[in-house]
Structure 1
């Protein structure tokens, strides 16, 4: 989770420089994806960004220690609406690998508000609302500008058209050989590498 969150923070910082996009709204869900988002929020704070977290009531201690504001999801969407109005970019860590439709409350309303905000979105592993294998077949998912896939790109991300990064070094050489994974080499100590657009070599 620490490496995943660091990779997400590095990706956001690579694409959205803090001089133009200092205010980051990190939207976290209740699962491991949300944990990745919280770690990313901490790193973004250390990188000099001004993060704010929208998340369920758990795992908040590290954010409080970093003095990162926290908003808890309820059926009242006005706190999220206000946070979106005071943000420059969104880190989407709401749903991840294990998500299965339909989107339940209050996250269904949250995804709509995030989409309507018009802010740039960086999604973690798979855009929230997308099925890990079928993509955005239900048509309810976010359409981010940037995706940071963790370990390897997911089948459902084939239709993703934005900037795509691979984050974290989670796959051993043995596993890559066993599953015939064609993963790029990591340059130096960086946790991320940008992938070519779909259809490019």
Structure 2
């Protein structure tokens, strides 16, 4: 059987590289210093890409058209900032996001992204709904932007331990940004939350090697030299899409 040029390229492509925590830190440092990406710029690119991936995994036509609701849970570190940007972009895409952000960061960037959400009339909850309330309040899905690769798991305390406990029991779909909260970057978790969708930022992390759900990559913006240096071997992004399904 003759293969098309695209199929031949796919078969000859090296497997996608999954980053270690050390590589994640090194790559981000290079982007911010050598390539002069600003952190707000980086957070916006990633937040927008996450929102786009969510529209692909859960298009408006597949949700309750009257209430396409999304609960975005944000932590105090960088992943939480991406979650805020994602929530705002989801609102632009005509979803109805609500944010739970229990431990707001004093960082000016987090504060700016929070104000931008508030100016888009995105409500902020003062408490996390219980598993029953999440269903009864008709949320279509939950976005997990609680803990990221930058989080030291040994230092995780309340309210985040309780949040993770709630998310482990949630029956509605969960979308995790970069890594599922509570997972170690370098190895898959056996007792963490189990998202339906994972959106890897820049490149997938080692913990996602055995992920069985729907997996998107948001990394098209990476400079070619970075991609080559870290031997990412990322698949081609279709058309003008900023995300690709792995």
TM-score range, shorter chain: 0.7 to 0.9
Which residue does 2:117 correspond to in 1?
63
Alignment of structure 1 residues 32-111 onto 2, 5 Å = 32-55=78-101, 56-58=103-105, 59=111, 60-72=114-126, 77=128, 82=133, 85-86=136-137, 87-102=139-154, 103-111=156-164
Contact 2:131-2:170 within 8 A present in 1 as well: no
- CA drift of 1:81 comes to 6.5
Q: Which runs of 5+ in 2 are unaligned?
A: 1-42, 106-110
217, 220, 232: which is aligned to 1:181? Answer: 232
1:112 aligns with 2:159: no
Contact 1:71-1:79 within 8 A present in 2 as well: no
1:165 aligns with 2:165: no
Q: Which runs of 5+ in 1 are unaligned?
A: 196-201
In 1, Cα distance between the equivalents of 2:136 and 2:93? 22
Structure 1's consecutive aligned runs of 4 or more residues displaced over 6 angstroms after TM superposition are none
Do the aligned partners of residues 48 and 117 (structure 1) sit closer, same or farther apart at CA in structure 2, a change above 3 Å counting?
same
Higher normalized helix content (fraction of residues): 2
In 2, Cα distance between the equivalents of 1:100 and 1:157? 18
In 2, Cα distance between the equivalents of 1:70 and 1:81? 19
Do the aligned partners of residues 5 and 78 (structure 1) sit closer, same or farther apart at CA in structure 2, a change above 3 Å counting?
closer
Higher normalized strand content (fraction of residues): 1
Contact 1:25-1:91 within 8 A present in 2 as well: yes
Contact 1:80-1:110 within 8 A present in 2 as well: no
Equivalent residues, number: 190
Question: Match of 2:60, SS?
Answer: coil
Give the structure with higher Rg (CA): 2
1:152 aligns with 2:203: yes
175, 180, 183: which is aligned to 1:127? Answer: 180
TM-score, normalized by length of structure 1?
Answer: 0.87
Deviations 1:54-93 (Å, cap 9, x if unpaired)? 11335321111010010245xxx55786456421101111
In 1, Cα distance between the equivalents of 2:142 and 2:220? 24
Question: Match of 1:9, SS?
Answer: helix
- RMSD across aligned positions (CA): 1.9
TM-score, normalized by length of structure 2?
Answer: 0.72
